[in-house]
């Protein structure tokens, strides 16, 4: 009887671990919004990481968050770091990795607390008639084995996507004033 219990418990533990070997381990989230301003004006605003303090939902979650900046904002290598006691904000930093002037800015997000993770993110601007701009905000994440077993149960698209939507709506409100 004890042998059967051990075998059943082993199967319960081993089967999900084997399944995780064959499961997807990454996810992507992207949202977009039309802003009634010229592309150059929108891009010049979003390439400045300090401006995210004005529109990003995460930047507004903790008014007591400590922020530090390294380098020249709006240029490759600029780092915006944050530290918060709020576990939904945590500790981390964001660095500008690449800029295609007027079109795209790529960041690297480095989360330190409550969990360690490094993920690429981006913002893209595209012209939209008449004299408007489509802004796309995206993020890619990866969950290493065996944590990727949780991906089917966690809806990152909804979770992070809703925050991107909030941020984009805030951005629209700021730029269209």
Phi-psi region at 126: left, alpha or beta (left = phi > 0; alpha = psi -120 to 50): beta
153, 126 contact by CB (below 8 A): no
Q: Tell me how far apart the alpha carbons of residues 97 and 100 are, in angstroms, rounded to a whole number.
A: 10
Per the prediction, the chain carries an average pLDDT of: 93
H-state helical runs in 22-79: 39-46, 52-55
* pLDDT value of position 51: 97
3-state secondary structure of 23: coil
* pLDDT value of position 142: 84
Q: Tell me how far apart the alpha carbons of residues 78 and 107 are, in angstroms, rounded to a whole number.
A: 10
Q: Tens digit of pLDDT for each residue in 94-126?
A: 999 999 999 999 999 999 998 888 999 999 999
| Residues with pLDDT less than 70, the chain | none
Q: Tell me how far apart the alpha carbons of residues 55 and 167 are, in angstroms, rounded to a whole number.
A: 5
Domain boundaries, the chain: 25-175
Beta bridge partners of 141: 27
* pLDDT value of position 150: 83
CATH topology of domain 25-175: Alpha-D-Glucose-1,6-Bisphosphate; Chain A, domain 4 (3.30.530)
* pLDDT value of position 94: 97
* pLDDT value of position 171: 98
């Amino acid at each position: 009887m004890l042998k059967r219990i051990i075998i059943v418990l082993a199967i319960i533990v081993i089967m999900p671990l084997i399944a995780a070997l064959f499961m997807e381990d990454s996810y992507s989230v992207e949202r977009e919004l039309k802003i009634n301003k010229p592309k150059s004006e929108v891009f010049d605003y979003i390439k400045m990481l300090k401006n995210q303090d004005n529109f990003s939902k995460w930047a507004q979650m903790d008014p007591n968050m400590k922020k530090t900046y390294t380098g020249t904002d709006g240029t490759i290598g600029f780092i915006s770091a944050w530290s918060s006691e709020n576990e939904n904000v945590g500790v981390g930093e964001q660095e500008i990795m690449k800029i295609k002037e007027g079109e795209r800015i790529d960041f690297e997000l480095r989360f330190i607390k409550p969990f360690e993770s490094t993920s690429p993110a981006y913002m893209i601007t595209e012209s939209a008639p008449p004299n408007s701009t489509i802004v796309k905000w995206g993020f890619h994440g990866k969950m290493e084995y065996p944590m990727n077993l949780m991906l089917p149960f966690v809806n990152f698209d909804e979770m992070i996507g809703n925050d991107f939507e909030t941020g984009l709506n805030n951005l629209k409100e700021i730029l269209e004033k």
